[in-house]
Structure 1
Amino acid sequence: MDVEEFAGLLGPEGQTVLEAVRGHTPSGELAAATRLRRTHAPRLVAAAMTQARLRQRAAAKFGAEDAARMYFTANGVEQATRTSVAAHRAARFRRLGVRRLADLCGGIGGDAIALARAGIDVLAVDRDPLTCAVARANAEALGLADRIEVRCADVTEVDTTGYDAVFADPARRTGRGRTFDPEAYSPPLSWALAAARTAPFAAVKVAPGIPHEAVPADAEAEWVSDHGDVKEAALWFGTAPGAVRATLLPSGDALRAAEPPQAPPVRAVGRFLYEPDGAVIRAHLVATVARQLDGGLIDPTIAYVTADALAPTPWATAYEIGDVLPFGMKRLKALLREREVGNLTVKKRGSAVEPEEVRRQVKPRGPNAATVFLTRVAGAPTMLIGRPAQGS
């Protein structure tokens, strides 16, 4: 789809075709397209069909109500920030007193929408004309055009003087796919960090796997998970230099440390095993959680916390452990058969064995459920068998 085709979608005929293809299942697309091509240009019908499919994909990130009114490109859906994460970041900026923000590399407008809904005036900049057209259409569709100015320009040439904050989300994909070299980002991460330092407050979106040693000393590093899945990391400027933070959505619970915590003790497996949230692990805050639980690690290199007592915590999922066994598939198969376990959950950390391979070999059958952890305990390959802790 090019800018001209997209403009056609926004016109009266395009809206009619979009409405006609709304809600079609893949199996019904061919019949719908054939019918619509009798009275509408084939290119317009094809663009509307593509847009309908993108809206269905986007519902997982933007919610069904917004996605049904918005416009997308394939890259835009892939790269846009999930609404829950964008809303969290917008709320942080608002609490910092931000009123005007420059959104560099704004894409189709996902972050700009959340910022505008938080009451912040946004300059959204992107260099791709089609992406900018889509972002403008989204601002109009959601009634936010009075707060979002979309500018098609090279972000490196935009003057952000006078803005309270900067948000930069450099593209981490090239023509050959995802890149892990920060200087291969578009624009390079070094430029984004320099731009961030020109404003009172700023956030730069980075890959969740960013090494801690790569975090600038004057930045606060935040990892965000949504329903247990790590979605992104961001470097914040003007907040808490040197701090690390793990934020859990949808609750908004945040765990922060001003400096790296001391490593927790390694101890024998107790009655309960705690699996820390991914954001906690990425932020290197497992030791903080272990102290809160009066627990320790099962191995110095494994992010599982063990404790003798069950304690409620938002930072980890608790399991009650019944068996601690040396790794062995025959032994596991016999135990599961004896206990008639058919509903088997397999988790791994520090093990090369894949959960699918375990299920293939043990062939679970029966009415009961169990969780198996393939891991290391004090350096030794080990199997922990248990179940989710009641009341956790």
Structure 2
Amino acid sequence: MDRAELVELLSPEGLRLLDSLPEWQAKTDIVGAVSDLRRRGHSPSLVAAVLTQSKLRARAKAKFGDFAARMLFTEAGLEQATRLRVAALHAGRFSRAGVGHVADLGCGIGGDSLALAAVDLEVTSAEADEVTAAIAAYNLTPFEKARVVHERAEDVHLGGIGGAWLDPARRVTSGGRTRRLSDASDYTPSLDFAFGLADRMAVGVKLGPGTDRDVIPPGVEAQWVSVGGDVVELGVWFGAVARPGIGRAALVVGDHGADELTAAADSEDAPVGPLGEYLYEPDGAVIRARLIGDLARGHGAWMLSSGIAYLTADTAFESPFAQGFRVLERLPVDERQLRQALRARDIGTLEIKKRGSDVDPAALRTRLKLQGAASATLVMTREEGRHVALLVERMPRAGQVSSAP
């Protein structure tokens, strides 16, 4: 979206038209919608803008819930925006730390700013891109204590501001295509700038969950967050918004609340042993935080193989930090024998999970050509270094009790 399109969208006519559209559905007839709006006298640019926003609002419900219906978005801004539920946890840290005024430096479409303002904090939101800054200003209109400035993060005057939140841009757009940056030194603003602010105020920095751990400064709190089983971010916290004694944290957010596993530092892996009656796959946040050993010791479990994130135990346990499986039987690793074994069990629908194996689950599933009536889960991994194929039964995952920081 360019400046002219945004101006047209933000006109009374544009906003009325956008709000009058039915909710976007996957089956929406785009050609028919365009034709109808053009027949009603709307310009091609406005029609394109409102239909794009309608589609983005539908996608944004996963992150913003009902708030999405009154917000505006850009493609890149929505992709990088923090889920509102997680943004509320960020805001809670600043509120509990007594930080009354927070600078959201590189605010994008304003998702984190919205959460900060919702807990009655004063917010200065800065965005270098003019169109995105205007969209953030629109999204923050209901909050009197929020203001948006069209400035680079590095240029914002921070006098009188007690804390900063930064979500450095990890993507660049060129020629209409967006590319993810693999080198943290290329982020905007730079990590040197973001981390350097901690010398003067409380700071939180959002990074991708797969960020090289070498960039995490010593002595800070690093918290990996998963939502619904997907690891969505690494939060690095400094000063008053970092919790004493916690260097590593795995926060697991689900339908029933949030649970957290914390430690002062990476935990030592548990010993390796033979397959027990149960197999456990730690949540991705636990794996990223390197707290698998603590999880294992807390439940009398052990590692199935060195360097592979599967635990095993002879006693069943429930945990929000791991998905459990009951081991039904071992199957042959050889593909021909494996096919015969699965067909003998009338298995036609097969979920394939793998760690420590170079098998491509989709390609293997195709080659197996299963046609039975039953469904099953197969785990391809290693036991004490040896390849194994395990037929398992998924166990219910523990309900999550709210205990978020």
**Cα-to-partner distance string for 1:251-287 (whole Å, 9 max, x where unaligned):** 2211100022222100000000010000000000000
Q: Secondary structure at the match of 1:17?
A: helix
Q: Counterpart of 1:71?
A: 72
**Cα-to-partner distance string for 1:79-127 (whole Å, 9 max, x where unaligned):** 1112222122222222222221111000010111111112222111011
Tell me the CA shift for residue 334 of structure 1: 1.7
Q: Counterpart of 2:14?
A: 14
Tell me the CA shift for residue 351 of structure 1: 1.1
**Partner of residue 43 from structure 1, selected from 42, 45, 49:** 45
Cα pair distance change 1:35/1:107, threshold 3 Å: same
1:110 and 2:101 matched: no
Tell me the CA shift for residue 24 of structure 1: 4.9
Q: Which residues of 2 match residues 309-328 of structure 1 at below 5 A?
A: 309-325=315-331, 327-328=333-334
Q: Counterpart of 1:28?
A: 29
- Distance (Å, rounded) in 1 between the aligned partners of 2:330 and 2:200: 54
Q: Counterpart of 1:259?
A: 265
Q: Counterpart of 1:132?
A: 133
Q: Which residues of 2 match residues 204-353 of structure 1 at below 5 A?
A: 204-238=205-239, 239=242, 240=244, 243-250=247-254, 251-325=257-331, 327-353=333-359
Q: Counterpart of 2:152?
A: 154
Asked if the contact 1:344–1:371 (Cα under 8 Å) also holds between the matched residues in 2, the reply is yes
Q: Which amino acid aligns with 1:212?
A: R
Asked if the contact 1:320–1:386 (Cα under 8 Å) also holds between the matched residues in 2, the reply is yes
- Normalising by structure 2, we get a TM-score of 0.91
- Distance (Å, rounded) in 2 between the aligned partners of 1:325 and 1:342: 16
Q: Which amino acid aligns with 1:88?
A: L
Q: Secondary structure at the match of 1:252?
A: strand
Moved over 3 A (4+): 19-22, 24-27
**Cα-to-partner distance string for 1:331-357 (whole Å, 9 max, x where unaligned):** 221221121122321101111111112
Asked if the contact 1:272–1:309 (Cα under 8 Å) also holds between the matched residues in 2, the reply is yes
Cα pair distance change 1:126/1:196, threshold 3 Å: farther
- Distance (Å, rounded) in 2 between the aligned partners of 1:292 and 1:24: 46
Asked if the contact 2:24–2:58 (Cα under 8 Å) also holds between the matched residues in 1, the reply is no
- Distance (Å, rounded) in 2 between the aligned partners of 1:156 and 1:389: 50
Once the two structures are aligned, what percentage of the paired residues are identical? Answer: 40
Q: Secondary structure at the match of 1:134?
A: helix
Q: Which amino acid aligns with 2:251?
A: T
* Structure 2 runs not aligned, ≥5 long: 399-405
Asked if the contact 1:9–1:48 (Cα under 8 Å) also holds between the matched residues in 2, the reply is yes
Q: Counterpart of 1:55?
A: 57
- Distance (Å, rounded) in 2 between the aligned partners of 1:24 and 1:369: 34
Per mean C-alpha deviation after superposition, the further-off stretch among 247-256 and 357-366 is 357-366
Asked if the contact 1:170–1:188 (Cα under 8 Å) also holds between the matched residues in 2, the reply is yes
Asked if the contact 2:323–2:397 (Cα under 8 Å) also holds between the matched residues in 1, the reply is no
Asked if the contact 2:224–2:251 (Cα under 8 Å) also holds between the matched residues in 1, the reply is yes
- Distance (Å, rounded) in 1 between the aligned partners of 2:224 and 2:213: 11
* Structure 1 runs not aligned, ≥5 long: none
Q: Counterpart of 1:119?
A: 120
